[in-house]
Amino acid sequence: MLLNRIRNALTAGLVLVSAAASAETVTVAALGDSLTQGYGLPEADGFVPQLEAWLSAQGANVTVINAGVSGDTTQGGLSRVAWTLTSDVDAIIVALGGNDLLRGIDPDLSRTNLDGILQVATQAQVATMLVGMQAPGNYGPEYKAAFDGMYPELAATYGTVFYKSFFAAFEGEGDVPAELGRFIQADGIHPSALGVSRIVEDMGPSVLELIGAIR
């Protein structure tokens, strides 16, 4: 009888500890450029608030930090990733490269910068997700192959969660961004609030995978 009571008490204690652990809020930093920052949108309609709301609706107890800087390149991300990863950050989403592409930066340099960011994240022992980007065909086949290929290759090297393109949700809707109508703002580059919602719904399961990878 006494042994059963002890067992029941231990079981109840483990359940309470498990529930407390599952209730702990995890913090995810979204390191990116204007796409992450929410350029041209009211704050509540940006990528980070919409992503946090979507994750919460799925039952995740998570805070997403907006570490997006409009106009930032992979080099800029590398320069600030160390101080972005404060002790309370559990995971990081790396979504950079669009501005490298717009500036025609050598993909080898972009790759080196992304590699450096992933090294810092690895050293900080945070779960990491890499978001890809694709170059248009007019950059030439060699540039496109080098640029497009660096993301999955780096993700494989570091064992990160990988989401193939920030604009993957729009595949089949026409070329990004010129023919996407209501999903893209008038500048032809940044997603509208509706576009962000679609991006978040498509990317969200990968972010849940990232949260599940937190040590």
DSSP string for residues in 133-181: ----GGG-HHHHHHHHHHHHHHHHHHT-EEES-TTGGGTTS-STTTT-G
155 neighbors 130 (Cβ within 8 angstroms):
yes
Q: If we measure between CA atoms, which residue out of 107, 111, 198, 205 comes closest to residue 163? A: 205
Give me 53's structure tokens: 């709301």
Q: Distance (Å, rounded) from C-alpha 182 to C-alpha 185?
A: 7
Just give the CATH number of 25-212: 3.40.50.1110
Sign, Cα dihedral of 38, 39, 41, 43: positive
pLDDT at res. 187: 85
- pLDDT per residue as tens, the chain (215 positions): 444 443 444 333 333 333 333 458 999 999 999 999 999 999 999 999 999 999 999 999 999 999 999 999 999 999 999 999 999 999 999 999 999 999 999 999 999 999 999 999 999 999 999 999 999 989 999 999 999 999 999 999 999 999 999 999 988 765 544 556 789 998 888 999 999 999 999 999 999 999 999 97
pLDDT at res. 179: 57
Alpha helix locations (H) across 58-140?
74-84, 98-102, 107-123
* Domain ranges, ordered by start, for the chain: 25-212
pLDDT at res. 182: 84
Q: Which residues are known catalytic residues?
A: 34, 187, 190
